[in-house]
Structure 1
Amino acid sequence: MLDVDVTTEKDLDFEYESVQKYKKDFISTRRGIEKVIVAASRHVSPAPSIDSSASQDGAVKRNNKLPKIKLKKFGGKIKEWIGFWSQFRNINKDETLDPSHKFHYLLQAMGEGGKRDVV
């Protein structure tokens, strides 16, 4: 707080600049928070599909049996990555799978060249 009797123009300029910096930081922080809120609202889990139903504990149960899909093996070559990830990301996104099961699927899908850095 400024003492009116001893306040100089330099003090007023300093206070003004401090307030302006505070306002700028506040607005910047607020925009950042708003971006995070908008991004988080886009990642809300979708409702169960028509051929799925939720049990009382909230778990989704599938009513149909899908054929097993054999995962492509990833051998560590960059050329193989897109094909591998296009299949594996469905496992990664599946919220009904335990993370340890997802990791087990990942290890099974790794070829010899891909395993050396994982385990």
Structure 2
Amino acid sequence: MADEAKRRRTAAKGWATQSSKALATLLAEPTMTRLQLEDAIADFDRRLAALDDAQSIVELDIDDPDKLDEDIDAADAFRRQIRCTRVQATQKLEDMMHKAEQTGESTASASGSGDSVLNNIRLPRIELPKFSGDVLEWQSFWEQFEALVGVTNIPDVSKYGYLQSSLVGEAKRVIQGLTLTAANYHTACSVLKERFGKPERIIFAHIQALLNINLNTSTSRYIASLWKLQDQLNTHVRILEALGVEGDRYGVVLTPYPGGQMTKFW
């Protein structure tokens, strides 16, 4: 078992070394595109993750504490060596993205995708939405993120990077334990949808928001307060209708049982 684990680690080290060399070769290419760089980074991350897994298995088979320390030190030195190219690639990718933002290039043109006509169109830069964990904001956030990032043909590891940068507060903590790898992108999406995207939870949040709306009659801008109240009501009503809660059900929804328990209608 120990010999098999070491052979697996040796193979993983070989693949990681080859991926690091390929990344270094690509960085030296003057015609390198952003899409090529993102793909090479994603491949390196996969190889490094496989090496980490193989290293963990080897460590479990070492009983001698001194030999274990020696093995870990050697593994750490090798990992640091091959990651130097990854750091350079990350810096280069950030420079390319910054340049694309300054020139107003769209995601398609910056990554080298799309036809020749579309590549000549310069679209205004769109900021990625932020999501902090407020269920009321989930639907809007997710639809924007999918349109700006999710449907593009960039590697999943890059999509995950964009997703992480869009999350703050509670939402970011939910996926904190998932490392930045291509495989974890879909896992992170599933975790977020399970936590914040359940229709029944979204409906309940909007119902609570409707019940908590108050009109401030003490202000001198009474008319403005009425308009604000109307806007809030319309926003929640439209979202509820989009979720299948029609107007003829509002009477049941907004009428609490004695004792303050609200009717559960889903």
TM-score of Structure 1 vs Structure 2, range by shorter chain: 0.3 to 0.5
Q: Normalized against structure 1, the TM-score is what?
A: 0.46
Greater helix share, structure number: 2
| TM-score of the superposed pair, with normalisation by structure 2 | 0.22
Q: Which has the larger radius of gyration?
A: 1
Higher relative contact order (CA 8 A, sep 6+): 1
